[in-house]
Amino acid sequence: MHRLFVATLPILFLTAFAAPGTAAAATPQTAQPGQAAATAWLSDVEAITLAGDNAGRRGAIATRLDALGLAWRKAPFEANGKAGENLLADVSGPADAPLLLIGAHSDRVAVGHGATDNASGSAAVLALAERFQRQPLKHHRVAIAFWDLEEEGLLGSKAYVADGSTKPALYVNFDVFGWGDTLWMMAPPQNSSTPSSQALVDSSRAATQTLRLGFSPGEKYPPTDHLPFLRAGWPAVSYSLVGNEEIAQVLEAYAGKKSRTPAKVMQVIHTDQDELGQVDAPAAARGVDAVEQALRRWDASGVTAAPAATSGNGK
Residue 176 reports pLDDT greater than 80: yes
Please indicate whether residue 21 or residue 44 has the higher confidence score (pLDDT). Answer: 44
18 with 237: CB under 8 angstroms?
no
d(CA 231, CA 154): 12
Residue 192 reports pLDDT greater than 60: no
- Count, residues in the chain: 315
**What is the pLDDT at residue 12?**
33
The CB density around residue 218, as the number of other CB atoms within 10 Å, is 20
* 261-280 residue pLDDT tens: 899 999 999 999 999 999 99
Average pLDDT, the chain: 88
* 69-124 residue pLDDT tens: 999 999 999 999 999 999 999 999 999 999 999 999 999 999 999 999 999 999 99
Homologous superfamily of 34-301:
Zn peptidases (3.40.630.10)
| Best CA proximity match to 50, nearest among 59, 37, 38, 40 | 59
56 with 47: CB under 8 angstroms?
no
d(CA 242, CA 67): 29
**What is the pLDDT at residue 31?**
52
Residue 18 reports pLDDT greater than 60: no
Side-chain half-sphere of 99: how many Cα atoms within 13 Å?
A: 21
The CB density around residue 77, as the number of other CB atoms within 10 Å, is 18
Long-range contacts of 152-156 (CB under 8 A, 24+ apart): 152/80, 152/82, 152/84, 152/107, 153/2, 153/80, 154/2, 154/223, 154/224, 154/225, 154/227, 154/228, 155/77, 155/79, 155/80, 155/82, 155/84, 156/77, 156/84, 156/86, 156/105, 156/107, 156/225
3-class DSSP assignment, residue 213: coil
d(CA 216, CA 208): 10
Residue ranges of the domains in the chain?
A: 34-301
Return the amino acid letter for 81.
G
Is the pTM of the predicted complex or chain greater than 0.85? yes
d(CA 69, CA 134): 11
* 119-174 residue pLDDT tens: 999 999 999 999 999 999 999 999 999 999 999 999 999 999 999 888 999 999 99
